[in-house]
Structure 1
Amino acid sequence: MTRRYAIYFAPPPESALAELGAELLGRDPETGEPRPQPRFDGIGLDRFHAITADPRHYGFHATLKAPFALAEDVSGDALHAAAEAFAAGRAPATGPALTLASIGGFLALVPSADAPEVHALADACVEAFDQFRAPLTAAELERRRQSPLTPAQDRHLERWGYPYVFDEFRFHMTLTARLTDTAEHEQVRAALAERTVPVCIDPLRIDAIAVYEQDDRQSPFRITGRYPLTGMSA
């Protein structure tokens, strides 16, 4: 059994964005409790449950440091302590309001314009927490390479354990699996747009980082620590 950790952005508990994510995905990553999912005209409840299975497993979030197993001689307590220290020295990051978008067929909430502060926070997390990451195994590398990667993404994968970092990073909060049927994609997109627009009005503000944890790859991720960003702006 390999426990894995991740550093994510999680909306503040009970905020409109957190409630939206828990409702749409059908699980609250803060408590681990299931949530009843909404019904949408023309989309069966079982089908909507199926297309949200992958993001539900990870919990509503935006990736700052992708999931990793701990390096040898490193403890989860040490990672939490490092996350707390990192957050204490880092100012909150702000960006434009979120909007619903399609990324390679996945529907996700993304910034509606460039978000350099958010990008800088993600870059800093990738570097700061890499010391806690165990190297990817050959099997993990092979599994990642089953999805087409550019040469730059493959170099990131080998160096940082994840291909979509630094110049390849895009802040996103995934809501569905990849939808390959065009009609279904547009139907789900329209339904989610109606539900997400009222919540995605205010500018994005990241004022904490969260440690997510899973017991093994089959277990869902849960939030096991949330650390406020209380540092001063440069």
Structure 2
Amino acid sequence: MTEVRPRYALYYAPRPDEGLATTAAQWLGWNPEGGRTRRLALSVGFAPDRLAEITAEPRRYGFHGTLKPPMALTDDVSEADFLAAVGAFSVKLKPVTVPSIVLAGLSQFLALIPAERCVELHDLADRCVVEFDAFRRPAGEAELARRRAAGLSPRQEELLVRWGYPYVLEEWRFHLTLTGRIVDAGEREAVKTLLGQRFSSFVDRPLEIRDLCVFRQSAPDRPFTVLARFRLGGGRLVSTEVWRAS
């Protein structure tokens, strides 16, 4: 029997008291901070079942922006070791301000993305990928095959082999995913209009990256939840159990 290992990821996620976190949890029907399910808000023109389908994939991961993709830990590293390393790493960093975010379509799904490339954000993601690669259990053949099935460029293949994921470093693009793939262009545009209304308070405005979050997935069929958050440059662990605004 294959051993089930939890997966860990380094993500940006808004703090629970921020409007973006509340709006995203209402849209996805899931709050990864504490692992709480929420009833999807009804929307004129969309059946509840269809909205649940559209949001199923991002709901499983929780509202976030990936900095270090999900990974299992090596045999000689414990969860406590990993958290301690993330905490020590976060002390050396500074908060990042993305000047503006916009709602956009990416490969048939919809997400909030930076309006322009943010050098400081790219640097943060690159450092997360490189710094914590020693903690990563190498990807198995099944996972590598699944990634390759999507069709990778030669450079993406190199990144997959070296870092366990094809969309890192120069191939990385920060995005806060709001839907799964929506094949029908007309439906996708309608959903984009709805999202534009729901997230109007956050579009064309700055995004403050204040924390480095550790998300955990206990098993492949389980959703990701926030295990801990570390203030960038603050040095104090803020956990989901004893979270305090600052």
TM score, norm. by length of structure 2: 0.91
Q: What is the SS of the residue equivalent to 1:110?
A: strand
Q: Distance in 1 between matches of 2:222 and 2:86?
A: 22
Shift in Å at residue 36 of structure 1? 1.7
Tell me if structure 2 keeps the 8 A contact 1:207–1:229. yes
Shift in Å at residue 201 of structure 1? 4.6
**Could you list the per-position Cα deviations for residues 35-65 of structure 1 after superposition, in whole angstroms to 9, with x for gaps in the alignment?**
1222222111110011101100001000000
Q: What is the SS of the residue equivalent to 1:212?
A: strand
* 1:205 matched to 2:212: no
* 1:146 matched to 2:122: no
> Any gaps of 5 or more consecutive residues in structure 1?
none
Tell me if structure 2 keeps the 8 A contact 1:99–1:197. no
Q: In the alignment, which of 144, 165, 168 is matched to residue 168 of structure 2? A: 165
- Inter-CA distance 182–201: structure 2 relative to 1 (3 Å threshold): closer
Tell me if structure 2 keeps the 8 A contact 1:8–1:65. yes
**Could you list the per-position Cα deviations for residues 102-122 of structure 1 after superposition, in whole angstroms to 9, with x for gaps in the alignment?**
000110000111211111100
Corresponding residue for residue 67 of structure 2: 64
> Any gaps of 5 or more consecutive residues in structure 2?
235-246
Q: Superposed, which structure 2 residues align to 1:96-111 within 5 Å?
A: 96-111=99-114
* 1:20 matched to 2:23: yes
**Could you list the per-position Cα deviations for residues 75-99 of structure 1 after superposition, in whole angstroms to 9, with x for gaps in the alignment?**
1111100110110111111112211
Query: In the alignment, residue 180 of structure 1 is paired with which amino acid?
Result: V
Name the % identity.
Answer: 45
Query: In the alignment, residue 199 of structure 2 is paired with which amino acid?
Result: T
Q: Distance in 2 between matches of 1:118 and 1:130?
A: 18
Corresponding residue for residue 5 of structure 2: 2
Aligned-residue CA RMSD (Å): 1.0
Q: In the alignment, which of 43, 47, 57 is matched to residue 44 of structure 1? A: 47
Q: What is the SS of the residue equivalent to 1:118?
A: helix
Q: What is the SS of the residue equivalent to 2:30?
A: coil
Q: What is the SS of the residue equivalent to 2:219?
A: coil
Q: What is the SS of the residue equivalent to 2:212?
A: strand
Corresponding residue for residue 225 of structure 1: 228
Query: In the alignment, residue 146 of structure 2 is paired with which amino acid?
Result: R
Q: In the alignment, which of 26, 29, 33 is matched to residue 32 of structure 2? A: 29
Q: What is the SS of the residue equivalent to 2:111?
A: strand
Q: What is the SS of the residue equivalent to 1:193?
A: helix
Q: What is the SS of the residue equivalent to 2:102?
A: strand
Q: What is the SS of the residue equivalent to 1:42?
A: coil
Q: Which moved more, 1:174-183 or 1:199-208?
A: 199-208
Shift in Å at residue 124 of structure 1? 0.6
TM score, norm. by length of structure 1: 0.96
Runs of 4+ with deviation above 6 angstroms: none
Q: Superposed, which structure 2 residues align to 1:81-92 within 5 Å?
A: 81-92=84-95
Query: In the alignment, residue 124 of structure 1 is paired with which amino acid?
Result: R
Shift in Å at residue 202 of structure 1? 3.3
